[in-house]
Amino acid sequence: MKYFHRTQLAPDAVMAQANAFFGARLAPTEEAPRRRRYAGTIGQVAVSAQAEGGHYTLVTVETNQPGESEADKLAKLFLTRVHSTAEPTHHERGAY
């Protein structure tokens, strides 16, 4: 599954948040300036952050599992946390 989110956070801030979030749960398997890949017993998760025109960053999170797997739940929760960082008034909803 592949998930996208556009944020006002800088790409480096998104990648730092990805390291903190996924690094505590999964083992890192690939590191590049704006791309990280993590793996564990639940599957693989890849995160990338690309500067988009203007002041936006496109965050892409991809898993190698079918929808609603544990890896997908983590991916969606991460994007929710990124959204909450950019907009502190945003409330997390959903059963992640």
CB atoms within 10 A of CB 23: 12
Q: Using CA atoms, how far apart are residues 23 and 5, in angstroms rounded to an integer? A: 20
Residue 95: which pLDDT band, with cuts at 50, 70 and 90?
A: low
> What domains, with CATH codes, occur in the chain?
6-85 (3.30.310.80)
Question: Residues 60-80: pLDDT tens digits?
Answer: 999 999 878 999 999 999 999
Question: Residues 25-72: pLDDT tens digits?
Answer: 999 999 998 999 999 999 999 999 999 988 899 999 999 998 789 999
Residues 6+ apart with CB under 8 A from 41: none
Question: Residues 8-25: pLDDT tens digits?
Answer: 999 999 999 999 999 999
Write down the pLDDT at residue 91: 84
